[in-house]
Structure 1
Amino acid sequence: MQLQLRCRMADILDRARANDHKLPPAMLRFRVSGLIDTRDFYRIGSGCARLIEESLQTAGKTIAPGVRILDFGCGCGRTLRWLLLRHPNSEFHGVDVDLEAIKWCTKHLKPGRFQATSPFPPLPFPNNHFDIVYSISVFTHLDECMQDVWLSELSRVLKPDGVLVLTVHGTLAAQELDPDAREVLKRSGFLHRHSMKLKGLVPDWYNTTWHSEEYILARLSRWFLNTRYQRVPDGMQDVVVAWSQSHAIALASNPSSLPPFSDRESADSD
């Protein structure tokens, strides 16, 4: 009840002081990251959009006109809204299990194309459909079974020359764990814990997950030929870039063409 009241008050204040009709309701914003403040929503979303663009550069990929892109776990469009503004001639799709968020995006974030999906594959797309797939703060919440089936599914819908960008809880996030949990993560490379932060607002399978660098790269290698892990300075989430097979072969022939990551603000730590 207290959260609902806070969200209603935030919505009233937002309407009074903002001219952005594309600002989602406070409850939808909260379900994305556990934050209500409008400034956090804008700041993190814009930062994530820059993160995706910079990460794609390391894979020799740009969001060019006509490129087809999937936001896997788009929520209420926190990141996608910025990419739509920056790349109006590209084709953006968003999917999420949150039907209310998808309905809001469909109404307010045109010309993006949005569809609600189930917690398990398949996605409503044919094989080899997307040039780019990105996923911000999704694999930070899935157990190992869901992680694997979705990595396999994302590889299916990605074109042979496509690139995947995703975030995982990084080194800084792991430092906040208790000693026993850190030991489990160190030993197995994977830790999945029940989360109380969004209890009652998200499905029971949506919890909190940590990966080691070695683990996530090895896991991705089951479906992708080449992968790269980048620790984001001062960031709770790090970035993983995965190349589909033919694109990885092309880049391997000219590795000097890959620019380094630049220092920037990270994705949030929800």
Structure 2
Amino acid sequence: MNKQKLSNTLRKLGFLHLADKARFYQQLLKNKKKNDRFLKNHPNVKLPPDYLIYESHEMNYEKYYMGGKKTAEWLVNHLKRHTDLKNKKILDWGCGPARIIRHLPTILPSDCSFYGSDYNPLSIAWNAKNLPKIDFNLNTLEAQLPYPNAHMDVIYSLSVFTHLSERLHFEWFAELYRVLRPGGIMFITTSGNNYVPLLTENEREIYDQGALVARGQVKEGHRIYTTFHPQEFMKKLFSNVTILEHIETPPQAGWIPQDIWIVRKPL
């Protein structure tokens, strides 16, 4: 039985959360020497609790911190093609333990304001205590943010819609649209055509019809609640904005890139 079939079987049996927890401990043990070395070489770097790091990416301190910085720089390079990043209000929706946004205050001009929102209270509590240059807010799974209309200039969301149902796709996009100023930019990543080889035969039929594929049977919003996004579905979701870029990066050894969507709210 291959890895994908095993995952689907565990999902159906209701054991996927237990399997994910076991994977966390396996990674914790596997990366112990690397993580100890990181702590020795970077004694002043504040790190969130281990399971929060695992949930955000993988159980590897260097990939969390250095990888997060590299991703932040990559994100900024994409955004700069479409907007001036001076004196901007920037929201990381689904920020988790701040893997990316913690680096933005040192990358972008000091007149920018930074916000992070997530539904995990443990992540938000750690972020708020340890990263004072960023305004963090707890949200629920339902689509409601504590910001005024047209408050943000830039919103980015990396692999968050990949864990939401179709209903919450539309409700959350409407909420993000509400808090984005006219002319503002959204940067969103999704699991597109690169992930088709991972789909079952029935899932492939749904995907080929242009519909969202959702693997539920677990808590929505968790990393193991997984969705896959055909272009037709995304274009329907983005019907009231201008699509500036849709980027598909070819898969590489050990890495399946997500699609990048950059959209602009009309003036």
8 Å CA contact retained: 2:154, 2:180? yes
- Take 1:4 and 1:176, find their aligned partners in 2: how far apart are those partners? 25
Q: Name 1:49's counterpart in structure 2.
A: 72
Q: 1: distance between equivalents of 2:53 and 2:131? A: 15
Change (3 A) 1:108 1:139: same
Cα offset, 1:43, TM superposition: 4.8
Distance across 2 between alignment mates of 1:229 and 1:238: 7
- The yes-or-no answer on 1:215 pairing with 2:253 is no
Residue type of the alignment partner of 2:248 = R
The 8 Å contact of residues 228 and 241 in structure 1, kept in 2 or not, is answered as yes
**Mapped contact 1:70–1:132 kept (Cα < 8 A):** yes
2:101 aligns to what? 80
With over 3 angstroms needed to count, the CA separation of the structure-2 counterparts of 1:138 and 1:205, relative to structure 1, is: closer
What is the aligned partner in structure 1 of residue 118 from structure 2?
96
Task: Give how far 1:236 is off.
Answer: 2.4
- In 1, the alpha carbon distance for the partners of 2:229 and 2:84 equals 27
Q: CA offset at residue 171 of structure 1?
A: 2.0
- In the other structure, the counterpart of 2:216 is 194
Q: In structure 2, how many angstroms separate the alpha carbons of the residues matched to 1:6 and 1:113? A: 31
2:266 maps to a residue whose letter is Q
Whether the aligned pair in 1 keeps the contact of 2:212 and 2:230 (CA below 8 Å) is yes
State the distance in 1 between where 2:134 and 2:26 align: 31
Partner of residue 27, structure 1: 51
Aligned with residue 59 of structure 2, among 9, 26, 36? 36
Query: Runs of 5+ in structure 2 lacking a partner?
Result: 1-20
RMSD, aligned α-carbons? 2.5
- Conserved 8 A contact 2:90-2:115: yes
User: Percent same amino acid among aligned pairs?
Assistant: 27
Q: CA deviation at 1:53?
A: 1.7
**Cα deviation, residue 178, structure 1:** 2.6
| Counterparts of 1:189 and 1:161, CA distance in 2 | 29
* Partner in structure 2 of residue 173 of structure 1: 195
Name the CA distance, whole Å, in 2 between partners of 1:42 and 1:170: 27
1:69–1:133 contact (8 Å) kept in structure 2: yes
**TM-score of the two chains, using structure 1 as the length reference:** 0.78
Partner of 1:244: 265
Judging changes above 3 Å, is the alpha-carbon distance between structure 1 residues 151 and 231 closer, same or farther for their aligned structure 2 residues? same
Q: Which residue of 1 aligns with 2:241?
A: 224
**Which structure 1 segments of 5+ residues have no match?**
247-270
Following superposition, the deviation at residue 44 of structure 1 comes to: 3.8
**Structure 2 residue matching 1:95: 3-state secondary structure:** strand
Number of residue equivalences: 236
Residue 12 of structure 2 corresponds to none
Higher relative contact order (CA 8 A, sep 6+): 1
